[in-house]
Amino acid sequence: MDRSPSPFPHFIQRVVIGVGEVAVSNNPDVTLSTYALGSCIGVVAYDPEALVGGILHLMLPDGRIAPEKAALQPAMFANTGLPLLFASLRGMRAELSRIQLFLAGGACVLAGTDNFQIGARNLQATGGILAQMGLPHDRGSIGGTINRAIHLEVGSGEVTLKTPAGNDVFSLAPVRR
């Protein structure tokens, strides 16, 4: 008997996270993506057992410089965005003890001297907060002078890192034997 194709093809949905935004998902057909990670930090967090993932695209290290902005857009800052990311993941049954992380960004992309060193300050703040939480964060692509984009496939835990030099794929899911 002839099998005709399904009238409902399988679609992957892409959710784009902008600067100062966060998104989480437990839908295996979703890919979370963020672009233009220069001095900003993209934090990918994934629970491979619950199949829950999220991306935070933070812009600045500390919301105390603009408390009103931090209250309205907490994902913009490391000190308010990271707690928001992890609370959102826990709300979808992720457990912090299983969270796998991937960081990208924190670059110095300005030509000449960067007196503000936002990328380095973002990395320091993000690393400090993650260390206080006891979350290892040794995977990623940070620093340097290049822009990056990252994509998380929620169903598989695969992270695709895009740079001017090309693409690399990393797995945040444990190796099954």
What's the pLDDT at 1?
A: 45
Strand spans (E) along the chain: 13-17, 21-25, 30-37, 41-47, 52-58, 100-105, 140-142, 148-153, 158-163, 166-171
pLDDT per residue rounded down to tens, the chain (177 residues): 455 555 556 677 999 999 999 999 999 999 999 999 999 999 999 999 999 999 999 999 999 999 999 999 999 999 999 999 999 999 999 999 999 999 999 999 776 566 679 999 999 999 999 999 999 888 999 999 999 999 999 999 999 999 999 999 999 987 554
**60 CB contacts (<8 Å, ≥6 apart)?**
76, 77, 78, 118, 122
CATH number of this structure's domain 13-160, picked from the four choices 3.30.1330.200, 3.30.70.2190, 1.10.8.60, 3.20.20.80: 3.30.1330.200
- Left (φ > 0), alpha (ψ -120 to 50) or beta: where does 32 sit? beta
Closest C-alpha to 125, from 89, 86, 73, 76: 76
To which H or E segment does residue 122 belong? helix 118-132
**Cα separation, 177 vs 161, whole angstroms:** 26
Q: Please state the domain extents for the chain.
A: 13-160
Q: For position 133, what pLDDT does the model report?
A: 94
Q: How far apart are CA 104 and CA 69, in angstroms?
A: 24
Q: Is 13 exposed, middle or buried (0-12, 13-18, 19+ CB in 10 A)?
A: exposed
Strands 100-105 and 140-142: parallel
